[in-house]
Amino acid sequence: MRLDKLLSQMQVGTRSQVKEYIRNGNITVNGLVVKKPDYKADEQKDHICFMGKALKFQKFTYYMLNKPSGVVTATKDNRDRTVMDLMQDAVGKDLFPVGRLDKDTEGLLLITNDGALSHRLLSPKKHVEKTYYVECEGTLSSEGILMLEQGVDIGDEKRTLPAGVSNVKQSDGTYSMLLTITEGRFHQVKRMIGAVGGTVTYLKRISFGGLVLDETLEKGTWRALRQEEMEQLDKQGG
């Protein structure tokens, strides 16, 4: 693989940045300084260092995106801006969003090129937890909470699986709460709230599979996952 491409995939920097590093003599391959970006390196056998620090090739890349409203969860769309349009400078080939959030829904979205992990996290058999902060119009009764916790009829063949309801706060004709579900049905949260007489006015996912949204991330921005976060995800999807 070309050295500049390999270093980009190792998240040393963007393609233009790593070319500059290479030309400045910051990269060694097997102890020798290499100044040609098109130098052919073997990611499995060669010992590559950046400013004296050994690099380890990582086949897959993982990012946390704080999705804003108005952006569709897709790799391409002919009409709307997509979440991948927000990730144009991200390092990694064939990146895609894991699962989807509605266009008007904000919050945590995992972006990766690890298809196997994505399949495990989204498998209906795994029951991976997803927690949402929900603001609604209406009143949530104790009976409504119980319905959500036991599984509610949203018009599908089967009721939803039991959900977790917490941090319920009610005021005049509105309420908010945290809702944890273990499925990924179409418009599920909105339909669940509708089944108990409410209407969702704001929806934000704050956790997915043990991964918690970094609240320091501004809407529309992203960062690479930390090692402990990747380990948590792998545990959830294992």
> Pick the catalytic residue: 77, 85, 102, 214?
102
**Region at 215 (left for phi over 0; alpha for psi -120 to 50; beta for the rest):** alpha
Catalytic-residue membership of 234: no
Residues forming the active site: 102
